[in-house]
A and B are shown apart, each in its own frame.
Chain A
Amino acid sequence: MAVTAETGPAKAGQGKAVPVPTPDTQPFWDGCAAGELRIQRCLDCDQPYFYPRPVCPACGSANVEWFTASGAATLYSYVINHRPAPGFDDDAPYAIAVVQLTEGPRMMTNLTGVPNTPEDLVLDMPLRVTFERRGDVTLPIFAPAGEPREGDSP
Chain B
Amino acid sequence: MSGVIIAGAAETDRVGKLPGHSALQLHTEAALNTLADVGLTTKDIDGIATVSSPGPVQVAHSLGIVPRWMDGTGVGGTSFLLHVRHAAAAIQAGHASTVLITHGESGRSRVGGSRFATSPSSVQGQFEAPYGVFGATTAFTIPALRHMKNYGLTHEQLAYVAVAQRRWAAKNPRAMYRDPITVDDVLASRMVAYPFHLLECCLVTDGGGALIVTSADRAGDFPKPAVHVLGTGESAETPLISQMEDFTESLAFRRAGQAAFAEAGIAVRDVGHLMIYDAFAHVPIYGLEALGFVRKGEAGAFIADGNTEPGGSLPLNTNGGGLSYTHTGMYGMFAIQEAVRQVRGEAAAQVAGPEVSVVLGNGGMFATSGVLVLARRPR
Could you tell me which A residues sit within 8 Å of B by CB distance?
2, 5-6, 8-11, 16-22, 25, 51, 76-86, 88, 91, 93-94, 96-98, 106-110, 118, 123-124, 134, 139
Do A77 and B134 touch (CB < 8 A)? no
Do B125 and A96 touch (CB < 8 A)? no
Q: Which residue of A lies closest to B118 (CB)?
A: A17
* Chain A residues with CB below 8 A from B190, complex form: 82
Q: State in angstroms the CA–CA spacing of A80 and B192 once bound together.
A: 8
Which of the residues B123, B125, B145, B193 comes within 8 Å of A81, measured between beta carbons?
Answer: B193
**Which B residues, 133 to 151, have Cβ-Cβ distances below 8 Å to chain A?**
133-134, 137-139, 141-146, 149
Binary per-residue interface labels of chain B (127-171) against chain A in the complex, 1 for a CB within 8 Å, 0 otherwise: 111111110011101111110010000000000000000000000
Question: Does B120 sit within 8 A of A, measured CB to CB?
Answer: yes
Q: State in angstroms the CA–CA spacing of A5 and B144 once bound together.
A: 34
Q: State in angstroms the CA–CA spacing of A17 and B240 once bound together.
A: 17
Do B192 and A77 touch (CB < 8 A)? no
Do B131 and A96 touch (CB < 8 A)? yes
CB distance from B136 to the nearest CB of A (A): 11
Q: Are A19 and B193 also in contact (CB < 8 A) when A6-B119, A107-B242 are?
A: no
* Chain B residues with CB below 8 A from A110, complex form: 131-132
Question: Does B114 sit within 8 A of A, measured CB to CB?
Answer: no
CB distance from A12 to the nearest CB of B (A): 11
Do A79 and B142 touch (CB < 8 A)? yes
Q: Which residue of B lies closest to A49 (CB)?
A: B243
Q: Which residue of A lies closest to B138 (CB)?
A: A81
Q: Are A79 and B145 also in contact (CB < 8 A) when A17-B130, A96-B133, A107-B127 are?
A: yes
* Chain A residues with CB below 8 A from B242, complex form: 98, 106-108
* Chain B binding surface, main DSSP class: mixed
CB distance from A140 to the nearest CB of B (A): 10
Binary per-residue interface labels of chain B (231-248) against chain A in the complex, 1 for a CB within 8 Å, 0 otherwise: 000000000111100010
* Chain B residues with CB below 8 A from A118, complex form: 194-195
Q: State in angstroms the CA–CA spacing of A40 and B244 once bound together.
A: 18
* Chain B residues with CB below 8 A from A93, complex form: 191, 194
Q: Which residue of A lies closest to B191 (CB)?
A: A82
Q: Which residue of A lies closest to B194 (CB)?
A: A80
Q: Are A83 and B193 also in contact (CB < 8 A) when A17-B125, A51-B123, A77-B146 are?
A: yes
* Chain A residues with CB below 8 A from B243, complex form: 51, 106
Q: Are A79 and B131 also in contact (CB < 8 A) when A5-B120, A21-B121, A51-B243 are?
A: no
A and B contact pairs by CB, cutoff 8 A, 15 listed: A8-B120, A18-B120, A20-B126, A22-B121, A76-B247, A77-B146, A78-B142, A79-B142, A82-B193, A83-B193, A84-B132, A85-B129, A85-B132, A108-B127, A108-B128
Q: Which residue of A lies closest to B141 (CB)?
A: A79
Do B121 and A77 touch (CB < 8 A)? no
Q: Are A19 and B126 also in contact (CB < 8 A) when A79-B196, A96-B131, A107-B242 are?
A: yes
Q: Are A25 and B126 also in contact (CB < 8 A) when A19-B120, A107-B242 are?
A: yes
